[in-house]
Amino acid sequence: MIPGVIFSMMILTSGNRMKNLLAIVSLFIFCGLANAANNNPSTHWDRSSAMAAVRSVNIDIAVSEIGNVSSLADGKTTVTRLRQLETRSDWPLPAREAAVLQFTRSLAELPRAAVADEVMQHLIHYKAQTLVPHEDHANALVPLFNIRGAATGVENGWQREEFTIEAIEVLETNPTDLVSAYIDAAGHTQRSGYLDALRQASMYEVEAVQNAVLEQLVQSPELTPMIGLTAEITTDTFAVQELLINGRGAGLSATLKQLGRRLPVSETATLLEFAILEAPAGNASLAIAAWWPGLRHDGVLRDLLMDKLADPALGATAALALAQNPDILTIKILQDTANGDSVAARRAQMALDINRDRLIGENQR
């Protein structure tokens, strides 16, 4: 028996019974909490030690033993095997969790019907135990093996495939219906599935969708990823111009970069000139960032950017672009422009300073 408990029982026989009873209860609560803390399976590791623990065993064999395509539909058996892996005492904790994570990721290669729902629920609700310091905030602990996140990713992948199949059927019957379906979609996964279907569509279907999007893009800027994708496929100049004028959203930058890889250099140059002169400043800035590095020897575009140095909306973007690996002629023009106290002069000097600092940094490496 715990010595503290014996002592409290002795006090109970001679003093205030209620007071001592409370003391005993408090003691048992304290002992229980201490015992729970000592048996808490969550463990703090540094990353290198945890990965060394993973390498100390063969997790591939353990993953293969959990189940295969023919057995994963048996949820009860698979969950039992998972629990046996999670609690095996001959393996360090990081190795056990690494194996569970590898198993979870492997499910993405299978159809949803092959994996029992009990298995996915077990993985989605798994509580990570191998904790390591956050890379940017050492005082914060994060799971080294994010099993919950991996399981959620598998679920999202299956949902995306289902939405892709749904969209393919729509494209085969009435392609323009996919546009309204995209607008009404519940979230990113559904829309991503629709775009996946569009990547597999015939040119006729893509052009039909593109024409429908062009009619609605002003009222529905959430269609930006869809017009971006169709423009990548068709390389239609008018569609790209509409994207530059009316496109919105975080995916616009990536779409413009992809278009830069797909379009001929001469057409990209023409579209960049259009963006600088006609597009909203935000979209023009994205086009400059995406396309200027491949066009920086184009004299017409260089002169256009020089003219924009004094522009309140595009001046800073122009300066940053001109600072990117300028050739000798561009440096000379910047130096000539920097002689003065105008806004354009200050931004020309800023471009020169950025380029100089970049060169110094490269030489110091």
Those residues with Cβ within 8 angstroms of residue 130's Cβ, 6 or more apart along the chain or in another chain: 43, 45, 50, 93, 94, 97, 143, 144, 145
For the chain, the residue count is: 365
Q: Say what the pTM is.
A: 0.77
Predicted pLDDT at 42: 56
How far is residue 258's CA from residue 252's CA, in Å, rounded to a whole number? 10
Predicted pLDDT at 318: 97
What is the rounded radius of gyration, in angstroms, for the C-alpha atoms of the chain? 31
Q: Are 63 and 104 in contact (CB under 8 A)?
A: no
Residue 113, classified by CB atoms within 10 Å of its CB into exposed (0-12), middle (13-18) or buried (19+), is exposed
Predicted pLDDT at 9: 41
The b-or-e profile of 53-77 (16+ CB within 10 A means b, else e) is: bbeebebeebbeebbeeeebeebeb
Q: Are 263 and 241 in contact (CB under 8 A)?
A: no
Q: Are 218 and 243 in contact (CB under 8 A)?
A: no
Predicted pLDDT at 317: 97
Predicted pLDDT at 222: 94
Those residues with Cβ within 8 angstroms of residue 168's Cβ, 6 or more apart along the chain or in another chain: 197, 200, 201
Predicted pLDDT at 138: 82
Q: Give the dihedral sign, CA 38/149/125/62.
A: negative
Q: How far are the Cα atoms of 243, 248, 249, 259, 292 from residue 299, in angstroms, in the given order?
A: 25, 29, 31, 22, 12
Strand order in the sheet with 130-133: 43-44, 130-133, 141-143
DSSP string, 119-180: HHHHHHT----EEEE-SS-TTSEEESS-HHHHHHHHHHHHHHHHHHHHHHHHHHH-TTHHHH
Per-block average pLDDT, block size 10, for the chain (365 residues)?
Answer: 43 44 41 38 83 95 84 92 95 96 95 94 96 90 96 97 97 97 95 97 98 96 95 96 94 93 95 98 97 95 97 97 94 95 96 92 78
CA dihedral defined by 291, 295, 301, 302, rounded to 10 degrees?
Answer: 120
